[in-house]
Amino acid sequence: MNTKTYAGIPEQYAKLEQAKIVLIPVPYDGTSTWQKGADKGPEAFLEASENMELYDIETDSEVYKNGIYLTPPVGALVKPEDMVNAVHQETKKYIKKNKFVTLFGGEHSISIGTIKAFNEAFDNLTVLHIDAHADLRQSYEGSTCNHACAVYDASLNTNLIQVGIRSMDIQEKSVMDYDKTYFAHDMAVDDTWVDSAIEQMTDNVFITFDLDAFDPSILPSTGTPEPGGLFWYETLDFLKQVFVEKNVVGFDIVELCPNDNDKSSDFLAAKLYYKMLSYKFYNEEIEDSYDDTYKEPNRLNNHTKFNDEDEY
Ligand SMILES: [Mn+2]
């Protein structure tokens, strides 16, 4: 990857010590079943981010001034189990440093590791899963770390809420909690799903966002596009409400499968990421000029269960 800092932000905002936000790129595409290319997702996302305005009109903020540290990519691993393990360790490492940890995939199997780390760190975790697909298979094509299994563990070990679902296997019915599932065909005709979904969340929320949740008319560049998806403003309105009402502890965005002839999906992904950060840090005081002395980060409401003495 050529990008030295996230979105080309000045070095002073990109150093780990000062950054409140950490971004872990995971260019992994080992288990995709149809169109390959999610491994190119982080690079396309970062390139689009560099060409994006860093002032957000809606929140009247420049969230990058909270500091965003871009980690080296995790992804030169072949076996999905090794990748999931590496993502789990990396995520945990930065949660322990009291950072707001975000990841960009890669295919959805990366979230198995991400969710495990967040679930170990935070009490009563809700996983908000925004996706066209249920991803509730216990194993697929011989692995429990396949993208089709992304939230199976979360369905057992967290308060899993699924939004935007419009494709699943009949066997997933036995795993799915229908009270906590919001199907796209219902959402299209009744907007009470927003309040209903938020009411079912605990305070600590981790968001795993599969970009194929969006309608393919606004996001075609994804491995398995499904008709009948979410649109831009309804998605932002929902996310904004989640960030305002809940303690979002981190998020990942997955399944960007870039297309050389159409950069609009890359750009949408870049804007989505930046919007989510802007909502998270809305009302935060931003220090316009950093001095070099490291201040203990205390803004995050992220009281983790991790023991400070644990070494990683
Ligand atoms: Mn999906």
Per residue in 61-99, pLDDT (tens digit) is: 999 999 999 999 997 777 899 999 999 999 999 999 999
Q: For the whole model, what pTM was predicted?
A: 0.91
Per residue in 119-173, pLDDT (tens digit) is: 999 999 999 999 999 999 999 988 999 999 999 999 999 999 999 999 999 999 9
Average pLDDT over residues 238-259: 97
What is the Å distance from ligand 1's center to 134 Cα? Answer: 7
Structure tokens at 108: 């959805």
Ion ligand 1 residue ranges (Cβ < 5 Å): 131-133, 210, 212
What is the Å distance from ligand 1's center to 295 Cα? Answer: 40
What is the Å distance from ligand 1's center to 286 Cα? Answer: 35
What percentage of the chain reaches a pLDDT higher than 70? 89
What is the Å distance from ligand 1's center to 13 Cα? Answer: 33
- Select from 281, 274, 224 the least CA-distant residue to 253: 274
What is the Å distance from ligand 1's center to 266 Cα? Answer: 17
Looking at residue 244, its pLDDT comes to 96
Choose between 84 and 29: higher pLDDT.
84
Q: Are 111 and 254 in contact (CB under 8 A)?
A: yes
* DSSP state letters, 142-162: TBTTSGGGTTHHHHHHSEEEE
Angle at 238 between CA 237 and CA 242, to 5 degrees: 115
User: Strands (DSSP E) along the chain, which ranges?
Assistant: 21-26, 68-70, 100-105, 126-130, 159-165, 181-183, 204-210, 247-254
Per residue in 251-303, pLDDT (tens digit) is: 999 999 999 999 999 999 999 999 999 999 997 655 554 444 444 444 455 56
What is the Å distance from ligand 1's center to 148 Cα? Answer: 8
Average pLDDT over residues 196-218: 98
Give me the domains of the chain, ranges plus CATH numbers. 6-280 (3.40.800.10)
What is the Å distance from ligand 1's center to 85 Cα? Answer: 21
Structure tokens at 61: 């903020």
